[in-house]
């Protein structure tokens, strides 16, 4: 009888041969997974690890154990279910459960994530200690709180509260969360800031969850409404030194900005004077951030009303200069009306001209740019109507394929935001389509992740972005065909694979 693991072992050997021969696809696959961080030569186990990751398993031993325990087909389906629940792909989850109703059998964490009250109750009745034991990488409370399944169930919010109540009754801690990239993330963050489960978030706060967990207030601004922010502030959340004010400004929300300022957010936090006084160099003062984000008059007026000081500097630069450089004429006019503006140097004057969409004479050496302007393309490209500004900056020498601090390039960021016109412009400049960012994301996977996780994804045209990338010839991993939670994206990619089978590859992480 053929061992189902043999084909994966052969795939690892083929990957090794390709990598050692310098084949571009093999190099990209290794760069995506990064099996070793110590710079040492790759071993056979490292190639097996890549194969496991590409098949949605955390490690080769985990994959091997799963396949040997329940068989290849069921193991792959269970793993696909885990990944879909983790990524919030409710459509994929529903499809998997319709095909195999008992797929989560004996998996307590999966039942919590599925928001399955009856199954959770049954398993806790038989073994109450399950409430406090890790189920895979997370505690059951985290599985529950980070699940989006409540959003596609008629009584989803109430059911998630019922499960949380059962978990706590059996010893679970409402503040015991997870750690991601060395950052602690509480159940409250997952329930409120990540998936927007308002009923569960309210229950957690009423049952002892800490509103000052370092993440929830910031991410509550991303829900598309102010209810989560109001809930946290009602339970004692402190907006100081959280960057929640600046995140609310990213959405130009007068309501959220006023809520935070009224609750004590300091609009001058992060300024040079504030940093010198507190010894804490944190964030960006609100008026400078308003320049970045092209905030409207009502938001700017609120900041000034609550004490934002136009005379404060950040990294030695005035708010007025920032307003001119980034093109926020509303903010520049408000500051000028107060009689506060500073002369600009040659580079700032050129950047200010480019902000109008005009191309100034001359070129800028990017190495001479102050660090606050080095990633100006990244800062503005997701804002409406900024394409002429982008083109003018590129025309005077700014780096159009420069990865930011997260390794994300402008073309990838345009894809993350679903901005087909901006992405199309960068593609015409011939960027590095094989670039892998610090998250392990390629251009294609970054677009797909943006379609599911960008707080402003409703405004993006992700299918158009996927088509642009595929038209450029980027590989289409087979795993991508059913990976998206959006049925229209799954249908588009499936049709593309049918029409262009030669572009489909059997590897790759999405």
Q: In angstroms, how far is CA 494 from the centroid of its own chain? A: 25
Query: 506 pLDDT band (50/70/90 cuts)?
Result: confident
Please give the tally of structural domains in the chain. 2
Q: Considering the domain boundaries, does residue 198 fall inside one?
A: no
Please name which of 298, 314, 318 lies closest in space to residue 306, comparing C-alpha atoms. 298
| Sign of the Cα pseudo-torsion (92, 93, 97, 100, in order) | positive
Which percentage of the chain shows pLDDT scores above 70?
A: 100
Q: Considering the domain boundaries, does residue 31 fall inside one?
A: yes
Per the DSSP assignment, residues forming a β-bridge with 135 are 138
DSSP 217-283: HHHHTTSSSSHHHHHHHHTT---TTS-HHHHHHHTT-HHHHHHHHHTT--TTTTSHHHHHHHS---S
Per the DSSP assignment, residues forming a β-bridge with 477 are 505
| Mean pLDDT in residue range 156-167 | 98
DSSP 358-410: ---SS---GGGS-HHHHTHHHHHTTSTT-HHHHHHHHHTT--TT---TTS--H
pLDDT (0 to 100) of residue 287? 98
Query: 40 pLDDT band (50/70/90 cuts)?
Result: confident
pLDDT (0 to 100) of residue 175? 98
Query: 485 pLDDT band (50/70/90 cuts)?
Result: confident
Which structure tokens are listed for 60?
A: 């080769």
CB 79 within 8 A of CB 57: yes
Return phi, psi of residue 128, to 5°. -60, -20
Please name which of 49, 96, 51 lies closest in space to residue 74, comparing C-alpha atoms. 96
Q: Considering the domain boundaries, does residue 301 fall inside one?
A: no
**Per-residue model confidence as pLDDT tens digits over 213-248:** 999 999 999 999 999 999 999 999 999 999 999 999
User: Where among 70, 88, 120 does a domain terminate?
Assistant: 70
| Mean pLDDT in residue range 430-451 | 94
**Per-residue model confidence as pLDDT tens digits over 298-334:** 999 999 999 999 999 999 999 999 999 999 999 999 9
Q: Considering the domain boundaries, does residue 87 fall inside one?
A: no
**Cα(203)–Cα(159) distance, integer angstroms:** 12
Instruction: Check whether 116 has a pLDDT greater than 90.
Output: yes
pLDDT (0 to 100) of residue 3? 84
129: exposed, middle or buried (Cβ count in 10 Å: 0-12, 13-18, 19+): exposed
**Cα(451)–Cα(468) distance, integer angstroms:** 15
Q: Considering the domain boundaries, does residue 473 fall inside one?
A: yes
pLDDT (0 to 100) of residue 508? 77
pLDDT (0 to 100) of residue 56? 80
**Per-residue model confidence as pLDDT tens digits over 175-201:** 999 998 889 999 999 999 999 999 999
pLDDT (0 to 100) of residue 402? 95
**Cα(483)–Cα(448) distance, integer angstroms:** 9
| Mean pLDDT in residue range 402-422 | 97
| Mean pLDDT in residue range 102-112 | 96
Q: Considering the domain boundaries, does residue 362 fall inside one?
A: no
Query: 1 pLDDT band (50/70/90 cuts)?
Result: low
Query: 2 pLDDT band (50/70/90 cuts)?
Result: confident
Instruction: Check whether 123 has a pLDDT greater than 80.
Output: yes
**Per-residue model confidence as pLDDT tens digits over 456-483:** 999 999 999 999 999 999 999 998 998 8
CA distances from 435 to 52, 342, 430, 500 (A): 22, 40, 12, 23
Instruction: Check whether 286 has a pLDDT greater than 70.
Output: yes
Which percentage of the chain shows pLDDT scores above 90?
A: 82
Length of the chain: 510
Q: Which domain holds residue 59?
A: 6-70
Which one is predicted more confidently, 59 or 200?
200
**Cα(167)–Cα(169) distance, integer angstroms:** 5
pLDDT (0 to 100) of residue 249? 98
Instruction: Check whether 70 has a pLDDT greater than 70.
Output: yes
| Mean pLDDT in residue range 252-272 | 97
Residue 96 DSSP one-character state: H
Residue 424: give its domain's CATH number.
1.25.40.20
User: Where among 36, 52, 70 does a domain terminate?
Assistant: 70
**Cα(309)–Cα(463) distance, integer angstroms:** 43
**Average pLDDT, whole number, for the chain?**
94
CA distances from 86 to 77, 112, 133, 198 (A): 14, 12, 18, 19
Q: Considering the domain boundaries, does residue 420 fall inside one?
A: yes
CA distances from 35 to 9, 124, 403 (A): 16, 38, 22
| Mean pLDDT in residue range 117-146 | 97
Query: 267 pLDDT band (50/70/90 cuts)?
Result: very high
Which residues have CB under 8 Å from 15's CB, separation 6+?
Answer: 26, 29, 30, 47, 50, 51, 507
Which residues have CB under 8 Å from 101's CB, separation 6+?
Answer: none
Q: Considering the domain boundaries, does residue 458 fall inside one?
A: yes
pLDDT (0 to 100) of residue 69? 79
For the ranges 57-66, 138-147, 148-157, 355-364, which has the lowest average pLDDT? 57-66
CB 85 within 8 A of CB 96: no
Helices (H), 182-223: 187-188, 198-206, 216-220
| Mean pLDDT in residue range 88-114 | 94
pTM of the model: 0.88
């Amino acid at each position: 009888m053929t061992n189902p693991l043999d084909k994966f072992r052969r795939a690892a050997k083929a990957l090794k041969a390709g990598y050692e021969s310098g084949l571009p696809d093999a190099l990209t696959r290794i760069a995506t997974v990064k099996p070793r961080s110590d710079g040492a030569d790759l071993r056979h186990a490292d190639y097996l690890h890549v194969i496991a990751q590409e098949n949605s398993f955390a490690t080769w031993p985990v994959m091997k154990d799963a396949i040997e325990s329940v068989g290849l087909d069921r193991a792959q389906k269970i793993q696909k279910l885990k990944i879909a629940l983790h990524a919030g792909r409710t459509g994929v989850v529903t499809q998997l459960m319709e095909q195999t109703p008992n797929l989560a059998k004996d998996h307590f964490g999966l039942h919590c994530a599925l928001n399955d009250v009856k199954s959770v109750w049954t398993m806790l009745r038989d073994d109450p200690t399950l409430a406090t034991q890790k189920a895979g990488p997370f505690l059951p409370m985290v599985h529950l709180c980070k699940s989006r399944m409540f959003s596609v169930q008629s009584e989803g919010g109430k059911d998630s509260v019922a499960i949380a109540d059962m978990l706590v009754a059996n010893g679970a801690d409402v503040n015991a969360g997870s750690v991601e990239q060395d950052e602690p993330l509480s159940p409250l963050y997952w329930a409120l800031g990540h998936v927007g489960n308002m009923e569960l978030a309210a229950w957690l706060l009423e049952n002892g969850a800490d509103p000052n967990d370092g993440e929830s207030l910031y991410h509550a601004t991303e829900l598309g409404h102010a209810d989560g922010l109001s809930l946290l502030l009602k339970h004692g959340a402190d907006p100081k030194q959280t960057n929640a004010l600046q995140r609310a400004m990213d959405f130009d929300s007068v309501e959220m900005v006023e809520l935070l300022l009224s609750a004590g957010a300091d609009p001058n936090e992060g300024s040079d004077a504030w940093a010198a006084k507190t010894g804490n160099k944190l964030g960006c003062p609100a008026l400078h951030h308003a320049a970045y984000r092209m905030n409207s008059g009502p938001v700017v007026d609120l900041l000034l009303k609550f004490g934002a000081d136009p005379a404060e500097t950040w990294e030695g630069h005035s708010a007025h200069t920032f307003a001119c450089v980034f093109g926020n004429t509303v903010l520049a006019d408000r500051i000028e009306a107060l009689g506060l503006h500073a002369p600009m140097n040659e580079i700032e004057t050129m950047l200010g001209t480019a902000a109008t969409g005009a191309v100034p004479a001359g070129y800028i050496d990017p190495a001479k740019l102050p660090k606050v302007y080095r990633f100006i393309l990244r800062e503005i490209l997701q804002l409406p109507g900024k394409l002429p500004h982008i083109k003018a900056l590129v025309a005077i020498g700014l780096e159009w394929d420069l990865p930011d601090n997260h390794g994300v390039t402008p073309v990838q960021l345009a894809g993350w935001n679903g901005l087909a016109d901006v992405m199309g412009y960068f593609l015409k400049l011939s960027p590095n389509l094989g670039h892998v960012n610090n998250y392990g994301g390629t251009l294609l996977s970054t677009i797909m992740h943006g379609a599911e996780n960008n707080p402003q994804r409703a405004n993006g045209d992700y299918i158009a972005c996927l088509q642009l990338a595929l038209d450029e010839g980027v590989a289409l991993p087979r795993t991508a065909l059913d990976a998206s939670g959006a049925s229209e994206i799954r249908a588009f990619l499936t049709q593309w694979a049918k029409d262009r089978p030669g572009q489909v590859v059997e590897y790759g992480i999405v």
